[in-house]
Homo-oligomer: A and B are copies of this chain.
Amino acid sequence: MFVILVYDTAVERNPKVLKTCRKYLHWTQRSVFQGELSAAQYRALMAALGTVIDPEYDSIVTYTARSPEMVESATLGVALGGPGDIL
C-alpha cells in the first residue's frame, strides 16, 4: 500500500519519531513521509510509533491507498525531498 504519514509531535520526541519513520518511509517535507509498505510493515510502523509518541499530546495522521498510482503528488515552491511533480 502507498502510505503518506504526517506527524505533529513534541520537539523532544521528534528525533525518535523521525528515526522510526525513516526505517519504513522516505522523507518528503518537514513533517511528512511517504512510501510503499506491506500491510504488515504498516502495522509494525504504527506499533513502533505507538511506543514513541505521547498519545495525549502527539498526533500522527496516515493516509493510505492501495497503490501509488491512485494518488498523484505535486509540489508548489521548493521540492524538499522525495518524488513529486513540480507544478
Contact B71 A59 (CB under 8 A): no
Q: How many residues of A contact B (CB 8 A)?
A: 39
* A41 touches B (CB below 8 Å): no
> A38: which B residues are within 8 A, CB to CB?
none
Task: State A1–B21 Cα separation when bound (angstroms).
Answer: 28
Copies of this protein, total: 2
Is A37 interfacial (CB 8 A cutoff)?
no
Whole-angstrom CA separation of A50 from B74 in the bound complex: 13
With a cutoff of 8 Å between Cβ atoms, the chain B residues found around residue A57 in the complex are 77-78
- A55 contacts partner chain B, Cβ-Cβ < 8 Å: yes
Q: Are B87 and A59 in contact (CB under 8 A)?
A: no
Q: Are B61 and A73 in contact (CB under 8 A)?
A: yes
